[in-house]
Amino acid sequence: MVYTPFEAHFAPRVEIGWRLGPEFWGQGLATEGARAVLRFGFDELKLPEIVALTVPANLRSRRVMEKLGMTCNPADD
């Protein structure tokens, strides 16, 4: 998790992200890891909100976000 390093109406917030090599795609690893990090952020660190950012064309990351229960705010695109 990192703090959002740019001006945005939702900042300051903590951002979660993932990056996997193509050979690891489609195995649920990003979702599993992100779910654990979210649980830690909310339960242990007591963060009020955690955001995730990606470009609209990154459908794989958007799918991970959906699986995590995150919602898209079109105003943030």
Please write the tens of the pLDDT for every residue from 15-68: 899 999 999 999 999 999 999 999 999 999 999 989 998 888 999 999 999 999
Task: Say whether pTM exceeds 0.75.
Answer: yes
Helices marked H in 1-77 — which ranges? 29-39, 59-67
Q: Are 71 and 58 in contact (CB under 8 A)?
A: no
CA dist 5 and 35 (Å) reads: 23
Distance CA 20, CA 45 (A): 25
So where are the chain's domains?
2-76
What architecture (CATH level 2) is domain 2-76?
Answer: 3-Layer(aba) Sandwich (3.40)
Q: What is the torsion angle, in degrees rounded to the nearest 10, for the CA atoms of residue 44, residue 70, residue 57 and residue 21?
A: 40
